[in-house]
Amino acid sequence: MTDIIDQAADTEALWREASQKLRHPAGPTPNGACHFCGETVTEPLRWCDENCRDDWQARQPRSTPR
């Protein structure tokens, strides 16, 4: 009877792992300052917020060749 519960736990672990990878994609190393505006941030943060991250990413050269 626990099969489906075990499956759910496994699936949840997979998703959690995947989301953690998504939260920390390849990019700059945390250095205590926002990589976009230079504002002090708490490590392991690399930007103040989503806006700074998105703006920073928008300025990066495309890593995937067409």
Residues that bind Zn ion (CB under 5 A): 34, 36-37, 39, 48, 52
- Provide, rounded to whole angstroms, the least separation between the CB of residue 61 and Zn ion: 20
Sign of the dihedral defined by the CA atoms of residues 23, 24, 27, 29, in that order: positive
Closest by CA to 46, choosing from 31, 61, 57, is: 31
Nearer to Zn ion, 40 or 64 (CB): 40
Burial of 17 (0-12, 13-18, 19+ CB in 10 A): exposed
Q: How far is the CB of 52 from Zn ion (least distance, A)?
A: 3
CB 53 → Zn ion: shortest distance, Å?
8
Q: Give the nearer residue to Zn ion in terms of CB position, either 27 or 37.
A: 37
